[in-house]
Amino acid sequence: MMRKLLLASAGLAIASPALAEGPYVGLEGGILFPQHMRGTFTSTYTQTTQTPAAGTAVAAPGVGVVGTLPTTLTTIPSVTTGSADARFKRGLDIDAILGYNFGMFRLEGELGWKRSTVKSFSQDTAFGTSVTTFLNPAGTTTTNAFVFPTGNLTSFNLGSDVNVWSGMINGLLSFGDPNGVNFYVGPGVGRARVKSFGISDSAWAYQGIAGVNYGLGGGLNIGLKYRYFRTGRLDFVPSATTFTSTRTAVVANVPAVAGGAASGSTNVSFTRTANINGAFNDHFSSHSLLLSLSYAFGARETAPPPPPPPPPPPPAAPATQTCPDGSVIDATATCPAPPPPPPPPPPPAQRGERG
């Protein structure tokens, strides 16, 4: 999926105008959504010898010596193992970045810090039942029965906070309008130190990033960023936890010698111990949704578009001429011929000599 996303981004980047080149810095912060972590807990069992010891003479009015606990109270079970699960609350994710924009490709260094707290801690029911059954054996009494501390971090020497410090190198493909909306996507790799349950460990880490920026002008950008973050395997091993329970059982007295007499019973006590070792051998992974603010050094404002060309001038009036008859015609036209002259007047009539 990541490979397809990168290939698609590369195609878009090649087809889009390159962003302004140069160095940039930024701050990012937002909500962290940590994923749960799984662990394993193992319990081994021990039991002290009874007090008073078997064979001890009993006090009157009893007769004989103290007997031995029944097999059901001296049999030690084998090691039991159970799974555990820790879930975390929504937390905080903050980082600072310093990078260089080559146009369609950006290379940046990132220093980050993530923090959350444990929301719930649980162990499988069968494990808790095994420990409880051993420490509260049937046929015995005690002043304080053992109760398995389900969900209690402190009882298992576990802290409630998780902090992650990371240094990452990210390679990002950028495409879009450098002075408007532009997008980026890419992977990152680095090293992380995680302190969880009060225990620290380090591992290699990787992340996948996708985001969108909006240019405000003057090199300033705001944006929204998504990140998936995951470390290699981490080993959180708290110190062992010991639970004890002192029990009392009634044991019948037995003859001191074969064939002898015995009567009565004796209350004997013994202590059972469950030694529990836990380990969370898992990855830390999270999703984050971040707001970002970045500044690109040396960014140039985009020149405003040139004004539209002026409208063309109106066509020139055609050249004219005035003809002898007073008419106005094109300069290239021929004036109409003048009218023919009027005919001459008729000659006067001839008069006679006498007139």
CATH number at residue 94: 2.40.160.20
Task: Report how far residue 317's alpha carbon sits from residue 272's, in angstroms, rounded to the nearest whole number.
Answer: 120
Beta strand segments in the chain, E: 22-34, 37-47, 80-88, 91-101, 105-123, 161-176, 181-196, 199-217, 220-231, 234-236, 241-252, 265-282, 285-296, 320-322, 328-330
| Domains held by the chain: number | 1
pLDDT of residue 340: 78
Report yes or no: 163 and 198 within 8 Å, Cβ to Cβ. no
Domain membership flag for residue 326: no
Domain hosting 151: range is 2-10+25-47+69-240+276-296
Site of tokens 């003809």: 323
Task: Report how far residue 287's alpha carbon sits from residue 345's, in angstroms, rounded to the nearest whole number.
Answer: 121
pLDDT of residue 304: 63
Domain membership flag for residue 84: yes
269-302 pLDDT, tens digit per residue, is 999 999 999 999 999 999 999 999 999 997 655 5
Domain membership flag for residue 29: yes
pLDDT of residue 351: 62
pLDDT of residue 86: 96
Domain membership flag for residue 337: no
Six-digit token string for 177: 């309008």
Half-sphere exposure of 246 (CA within 13 A, CB side): 5
User: Which residues have C-beta within 8 Å of that of residue 262, sequence separation ≥ 6?
Assistant: 63, 64, 65, 252, 253, 254, 255, 256
Question: Which region, left, alpha or beta, applies to residue 259 given φ > 0 means left and ψ of -120 to 50 means alpha?
Answer: left
pTM, two decimal places: 0.75
Show the low-confidence residues of the chain (pLDDT under 70): 1-20, 299-304, 349-355
Between CA 237 and CA 245, with CA 242 as vertex, the angle to 5 degrees is 160
Domain membership flag for residue 100: yes
pLDDT of residue 75: 94
Domain membership flag for residue 319: no
pLDDT of residue 2: 45
Element (H, E) at 239: none
Domain membership flag for residue 306: no
Domain membership flag for residue 330: no
Cross-strand pairs, 43: 80, 276
Q: pLDDT averaged over the chain?
A: 89
Task: Report how far residue 63's alpha carbon sits from residue 260's, in angstroms, rounded to the nearest whole number.
Answer: 9
Judge residue 5's burial from the number of C-beta atoms within 10 Å of its C-beta, 0-12 exposed, 13-18 middle, 19 or more buried.
Answer: middle
